[in-house]
Structure 1
Amino acid sequence: MTGAPDELRPPLPGEALHARVARTLREAILAGTVPEGTRLPGHRALAARLGVSRNTLVDALAQLDAEGYVRTRGRSGTRVAVPGPARVEEAQAPLPLSAWATRALAGHVPDAGGTYAVDFRVGQPVPDLYPAGAWAQALARQARAAGQATLPDPAPELGPLETRRALAAYLNAERGARVTPDMVMLTGGTQASLDALARVFLEEGRVAALEDPTYPGARAALGATGATLFPVPVDPAGLDPAALPDRATLLYLTPGAQYPTTVALPAARQAEVVAWARRTGALILEDDYAADLHHAARPPAAMQGLAPERVILLGSFSKSLAPVTRSGYLVAPERVTRLLAGTRPLTDRAPATLDALALADVLASGAYARHLRRARQAIRHRHEVLLAALAALPGWEVTPARAGLHVHVTLPPPLSEEEAVRLAAGVGVALTPAAPLALGPRPPAVLLAFAHLTPDRIREGVTRLAGAFT
């Protein structure tokens, strides 16, 4: 019985007992514990050794025989047929990553993890503002209507025509955009939109300009193509048009609420950026990530309305509805959406049709507008609570957010981001450092997300910070 395991491996969720026995023996074989050619103990002896019935063991050995790990030959018994160590070495060999994967992983900003009493880190969902009832009703209506005759869709690769019509109507009415349904492509979110556009328009030797600091997902998607990234500095009025490069294929920016500083790009600067794009032939990627969660009654108009032929509008409902919907879109000139429709089958598929139709339902029924009124009011109040509480931290320079779910705080010298995050963690509070979002040097700063926290939790978190820093 040399080398045979003495006990079963810990069970996996939902794993049948015979499969657990087979896995135990398979792992022992692959690890070389039971070498090739070894004769396994008899069925009764091995079953007793592993604490299972003979029938269970027979089923496990039959599975391993079918997979080629053992060979059962009548009176000669059951022998191991696979050499283990070579297979282990092969499994542990370095993965042959492509240049694209290497660059994409280099641009990834990992989450620090951890559990805290009050978590101000950005990127968290806001479940108490999610319109679960309206979304469930829309899904149910569309599920009941599934299979009924619909209007012919000339461009199914872009997503259901009903949803693209509803989105065009919403963006024209609420965002001051200039959109037709054929300019809309549904995506799984802004990151999917960025990936699709980067793959089509960027490669080594081309230039992608982007705000500095910026959303790390954009930097990763654009940089993964091998294109040269050109950082354009952001000042208290947003991206500086005077610092734009002489040439670029794409420019990524967040004019409505710059990420992460939250400042809005003034109309005069927007006009300068559009003039630069027309002069150089660049396409502008306008990430409208926080527009629907603007703290004022009505958000400012989208930059896309200034130049529909130059500006590609990127939007998502992951913040204003919920991440689980995975509902995003891009609005581009028709020549661009036709191009994306042709390349999409190679890398992606349109989002689930039922979810897309439910989104159209929520938009057209007015349920989304009602949800936004309630959500904006709650978020505005939580923002005000945070600003009032942060006044207790002397020297912390807070930029009030006109939109979105976080505030940007410049730290007083000589406090560093690393020290601020460490001291905050010591009192059970999590902060997001701003340095990983910048390509160039910036004053030390942190981000505090607030929309997912109740006013009482916001006050508690700032009180803990005050105890650590004053």
Structure 2
Amino acid sequence: MAGAGVRPAVRADAGLPTELPPPLPGEALHARVARTLRGAIVAGTLPQGTRLPGHRALAGRLGVSRNTLVDALEQLEAEGYLQTRPRSGTRVAVPAPPPADAPPSPLPLSAWASRALAGAVPDVGGDYVVDFRVGQPVPELYPAGAWAQALARQARAAEYALPPDPDAELGPLETRRALAAYLNAERGARVTPDMVMLTGGTQASLDALARVFLEEGRVAALEDPTYPGARAALGATGATLWPVPVDEQGLDPAALPRQATLLYLTPGAQYPTTALLPAARQAEVVAWAARSGAFVLEDDYAADLHHGGRPPAAMQGLAPERVILLGSFSKSLAPVTRSGYLVAPREVVRVLAGTRPLTDRAPATLDARALADVLASGAYARHLRGARQAIRHRHEVLLAALDAELPGWRVTPARAGLHVHLTLPPGLPEAEVIQQAAAAGVALTPAGPLAQLPRPPAVLLAFAHLTPERLRAGVGRLARAMAPNARNSVDTSR
């Protein structure tokens, strides 16, 4: 008869698992056993006080070796789930948590997270024969050899006991020097190294600037239509967004608000219409910024991928005290590098460097030094000459195919960048074009979600990632899919 105060052992046979669940990626066998037993304890099938069978019996039940089982039990004992005492065996040491009476409550998201999620444009996946959607990587245009050599050189030369750098949050000085020299020579900018901060890309730059300068009650102006990542980053702060209409010459300065904190624009190749902002309008924007006290965020996303001749000078060169230049090498070098930068007045850079440790760190030093290497050695300039030639040829092939197959659709030739803007014939909705093209195996990007103000229906076609043969085939497929609405006679025999 059991003595007073001695709790009888609970038999484990009924609650013991009889087999192990499928392994998780990279999971060791003893960890899999521990996960199985832990789950039974948490689920309550092995209640507190349950005495487990002996090691050999339990190992045989689970189909593992005794050593594997012992490793699993030791792990669970270290975590507090089991307790082993001499002559008492191994028992479950913790009670199962009480069952939840109510369904899980919604995530307690902050206002910033809710606004950020609401402002994002979802990417619709799918398998397509020809994919014209924007954002496609162009791997054959990346200088993989030059980049690998630069990384190797910098890895061999790396100093692993660097002295403290007061500007560490800005990125390596040699990279900032190389960027300043490149932007001054190639983009007509006015930059010194202490005006440069390295980032993980343009989106990271936008997020940092939005957090520093925007909040509820402030105004952020931006082109309409515009890059959705900019709208999401600026809008997530709670600031009021002021859409500024875009015409065939880019942003209309006459529609700017009287006062704003930031203005986002893409003067070198307006996204998504590809319009070039003329010098007269640039001067109007700079004068407005001086009057209103705003900073202009110049996204220079396509400058290095200009199709003909030298790219237009950066707006930053007109007013370095008011224009913050944002750039990235993700399209012209490789997305994997995550090499971006911003150029701002020194006082702005100091604020960004001071707040950066709360949310971010400077990009990896080795990648940053490799970027300085490819810029200073001339490898990047040589790469661009070949890349621009290939992109220009594919652009011309696409324009010729569109003119031949869909002459009723108005295409805006791109002076820079990797896509064209195609305005649809009157009466033809974007949704119908997207749907019929998808049914034919052709993916397009609708322009409608990029705008808040009313605009004619349009689609975007990315071209640089497709060979000339694929470009012609894709346009032919699109024309056949839209034959009833294409307003031209399409040869469907091909």
TM-score after normalising by structure 2 = 0.90
- Say yes or no: does 1:58 pair with 2:70: yes
Q: In the alignment, residue 156 of structure 1 is paired with which amino acid?
A: A
Name which of 142, 146, 160 aligns with 1:134.
146
What residue in structure 1 maps to residue 285 of structure 2? 273
Q: 1:182 aligns with which of 189, 194, 201?
A: 194
The CA deviation at 1:243 is 0.6
Alignment of 1:309-324 (within 5 A): 309-324=321-336
Match of 1:411 in 2: 424
Deviation of 1:201 after TM superposition, in Å, equals 0.6
2:224 is equivalent to residue 199 of structure 1? no
Whole-Å separation in 1 of the counterparts to 2:82 and 2:463: 58
Q: Which residue is 1:420 aligned to? A: 433
Shift in alpha-carbon separation, 1:81–1:216, aligned structure 2, 3 A = farther
1:8 offset after TM fit, Å? 1.4
- 1:285-364 residue pairs with structure 2 within 5 A? 285-364=297-376
User: Structure 1 residues 2 and 202 mapped into 2: Cα distance closer, same or farther (>3 Å)?
Assistant: same
Query: Which of residues 248, 253, 256 in structure 2 aligns to 1:236?
Result: 248
Deviates more, 1:296-305 or 1:425-434: 425-434
- Return the letter of the residue paired with 1:279: R
C-alpha distance in 2, partners of 1:81/1:393?
Answer: 74
Q: Matched residue pairs, number?
A: 470
Structure 1 residue 4: Cα displacement: 2.5
Deviations 1:91-142 (A, max 9, x none): 9543322211111111122221222221111112110011011111111111
Report 1:148-187 matches (<5 A).
155-187=167-199
For residue 12 of structure 1, report the CA deviation from its aligned partner: 1.9
- Give the Cα–Cα distance (whole angstroms) in 2 for the partners of residues 39 and 436 of structure 1: 62
- Gaps of at least 5 residues in structure 1 are none
**Alignment partner of 2:233 out of 186, 207, 221:** 221
Distance 1:331 1:467, change over 3 A: same
Candidates 462, 465, 469, aligned match of 1:449: 462
- The answer for unaligned runs of 5 or more in structure 2 is 1-12, 484-494
Q: Which has the larger displacement, 141-150 or 225-234? A: 141-150
Q: After superposition, what is the alpha-carbon deviation per residue over 1:259-279, rounded to whole angstroms, capped at 9, x for unaligned? A: 111111111111111111011
User: Corresponding residue for 1:22?
Assistant: 34
- CA 1:289–1:89 in structure 2 vs 1: closer, same or farther (change >3 Å)? farther
Q: Using the alignment, how far apart are the partners of 1:220 and 1:346 within structure 2?
A: 21
The CA deviation string for residues 392-449 of structure 1, in whole angstroms up to 9 with x for no partner, is 0243221111110111112224332222222122122211112221223322221111
Q: Which residue of the partner structure matches residue 442 of structure 2? A: 429
Deviation at 1:248, TM superposition (A): 0.3
Matches within 5 A, 1:4-19: 4-19=16-31
Query: What's 2:117 paired with?
Result: 105
Q: Shift in Å at residue 155 of structure 1?
A: 2.2
Structure 1 Cα separation of the partners of residues 325 and 44 of structure 2: 56
Partner Cα distance (1:280, 1:431) in 2: 39
> Does 79-88 or 24-33 show the bigger shift?
79-88
Secondary structure at the residue paired with 1:304?
A: helix
Q: 1:33 to 1:218 in 2, by over 3 A?
A: farther
Looking at structure 2, the residues matched to 376 and 114 of structure 1 have their Cα atoms a distance apart, in angstroms, of 30
AA paired with 1:235? Answer: D
Q: CA RMSD in A?
A: 2.1
Measured after TM superposition, the shift of residue 192 of structure 1 is 0.8
Q: Is the 8 A contact 1:393 1:469 kept in 2?
A: no
Distance 2:431 2:366 in 1: 45
Q: How big is the shift at 1:299? A: 0.4
Identity of aligned residues (%): 83
Corresponding letter in the other structure for 2:264: Y
